Amino acid sequence: MNVLLGVGGGIAAYKSAELARALMERGLRVQVVLTDAAQRFITPLTFAALTGRKVITNLFATASSEETLSSAIEHISVAQDNDVMVVAPATADLLARLAYGHADDFLTTTYLAFTGPVVLAPAMNSNMWAHPATQENLNILRKRGHVIVEPEDGLLACGMTGPGRLAETNQIADVVASLGLTSSPVKASKDLDGETVLITAGPTQEPLDPVRFISNRSSGKMGYALAEAAGERGARVVLISGPVHLPAPPGVTLIRVHTAIEMRNAVFEHLAEATIIVKSAAVADYHLSRVPQHKVKKTATRMSLELDPTPDILAELGQKKGDRLLIGFAAETENLTEGARSKLKSKNCDMVVANLVGQDGTGFESDENEAVLVLSTGETIPLQRAPKREMADRIFDQVMKLRLALHAAQ
């Protein structure tokens, strides 16, 4: 697989040399493009020596008319010859130019001509990172489907401490390598075209009285990433979401609910039209079946709650799914694969996405996740830690493989 490594002009540019090496260690061919600003921090020679290839530095060569002609169209061939584009460090200026489609140097021009997956690894001062202008540009780039490998917290070159340090080069290289695996022509050709994907996301809230509720930890990010991915791959998407602080992904039909019972009713209202169901919601297992009409007054004595089980939506779907593909989630704190396999069987799922929860950096509120996919075919597929949007694509890659396998078995 061929990777285009674009290097922006920041202090972290020296780490891109490590990144070039890490990409090559993963068996990838690396073509480096340096912006003018990058060349103030690191020389083309470093990358040429590491990659054994010519390093591209500018849009218009000046040496001879022949060179000028070949370099004038080179950005098109570079765009066509590479499978994944990664920009590291992506400076605030570069993010702005990419977001707004500027084409004033080789890297930005190639970006516009490039149709494959794009990975951006920002690095900058933490105030620049937090600035609304930068965050809005990042949102534009995320909506475009690009993978953002978020910077780390730490001591920055400017002396400040905070977010802005380029992510670990091995982490960036892993994301690029995994994207290459999933960026099959099938995905580019909208492999979910014709499917209706019903997704549940977020927690449910079960009222105890008019001012209190019990709920589960869940940000909804994984479910929303799944909805976005399914939509981009051509599916019609119905997203049934518990209370979360996330905007509706573009083109998705969003139905907001609060309780497990409301979620169950919404799911069965839309079951007939669904061909794939993904149950990523963290549904509360217990509720008060009769909620007091008035606020329960505080007393000095211990109180206990008598809770009843909520309907198990996934288990009911397992009984009524017909030939639809049913994907459940399992949040476990131990015995991940065994727990997931027993849920797969007991709830009659085709696949269970199992997350080990209670670790740092993945799960609940995090932008990243790591999981094991347990399939009804008997396969167990580990998914390395990756941004949730990327994880969503890997899950749908397996869903579509499963669909083909189940068809073939019929």
* Region of 1-9, 77-85, 238-246, 323-331 interacting with ligand CTP (CB under 6 A): 323-331
Residue with smaller CB distance to ligand CTP, 79 or 383: 383
Residue with smaller CB distance to ligand CTP, 17 or 197: 197
* Region of 18-26, 59-67, 305-313, 366-374 interacting with ligand CTP (CB under 6 A): 305-313
Residue with smaller CB distance to ligand CTP, 179 or 331: 331
**Residue 226: both structure tokens together:** 């799944």
Cis preceding-peptide flag for 89 (omega within 30 of 0):
yes
Q: What are phi and psi of 258, to 5 degrees?
A: -115, -55
* Region of 47-55, 96-104, 328-336, 373-381 interacting with ligand CTP (CB under 6 A): 328-336
- State the nearest-atom distance from the C-beta of 329 to ligand CTP, in Å: 4
Q: How many CA atoms lie within 13 A of 349 on its CB side?
A: 28
Per CB under 6 A, the list member of 18, 152, 209, 285 interacting with ligand CTP is: 285
Kindly give the pairing relationship between strand 286-287 and strand 308-309: antiparallel
Residue with smaller CB distance to ligand CTP, 122 or 339: 339
- State the nearest-atom distance from the C-beta of 340 to ligand CTP, in Å: 9
- State the nearest-atom distance from the C-beta of 92 to ligand CTP, in Å: 39
* Region of 117-125, 171-179, 231-239, 309-317 interacting with ligand CTP (CB under 6 A): 309-317
Contact pattern for ligand CTP over residues 330 through 369, marking x by CB under 6 A: xx-----------x--------------------------
227 contacts ligand CTP (rule: CB under 6 A): no
292, 281 in Cβ contact below 8 A? no
202 contacts ligand CTP (rule: CB under 6 A): no
279 contacts ligand CTP (rule: CB under 6 A): yes
95 contacts ligand CTP (rule: CB under 6 A): no
281 contacts ligand CTP (rule: CB under 6 A): yes
Contact pattern for ligand CTP over residues 99 through 128, marking x by CB under 6 A: ------------------------------
314 contacts ligand CTP (rule: CB under 6 A): yes
310 contacts ligand CTP (rule: CB under 6 A): yes
Strand-pairing partners, residue 17, are none
Per CB under 6 A, the list member of 50, 172, 283, 386 interacting with ligand CTP is: 283
81, 2 in Cβ contact below 8 A? yes
- State the nearest-atom distance from the C-beta of 223 to ligand CTP, in Å: 9
3-class DSSP string for the chain? CEEEEEECCCCCHHHHHHHHHHHHHCCCEEEEEECCCHHHCCCHHHHHHHHCCCCECCCCCCCCHHHHHHHHHHHHHHHHHCCEEEEEEECHHHHHHHHCCCCCCHHHHHHHHCCCCEEEEECCCHHHHHCHHHHHHHHHHHHCCCEECCCEEEECCCCCEEEEECCCHHHHHHHHHHHHHHCCHHHHCCCCCCCEEEEEECECEEEEECCEEEECCCCCHHHHHHHHHHHHCCCEEEEEECCCCCCCCCCCEEEECCCHHHHHHHHHHHCCCCCEEEECCECCCEECCCCCCCCCCCCCCCCCCCCEECCCHHHHHHHHCCCCEEEEEEEECCCHHHHHHHHHHHCCCCEEEEEECCCCCCCCCCCEEEEEEEECCCCEEEEEEEEHHHHHHHHHHHHHHHHHHHHHHC
- State the nearest-atom distance from the C-beta of 373 to ligand CTP, in Å: 13
Q: What are the residue numbers of the active site?
A: 158
Residue with smaller CB distance to ligand CTP, 66 or 334: 334
389 contacts ligand CTP (rule: CB under 6 A): no
Residue with smaller CB distance to ligand CTP, 152 or 285: 285
Q: Which of residues 240-269 bind ligand CTP (CB under 6 A)?
A: 260
83 contacts ligand CTP (rule: CB under 6 A): no
Where do contacts with ligand CTP occur on this chain (CB under 6 A)?
Answer: 260, 279, 281, 283, 285, 310, 312-314, 328-331, 343
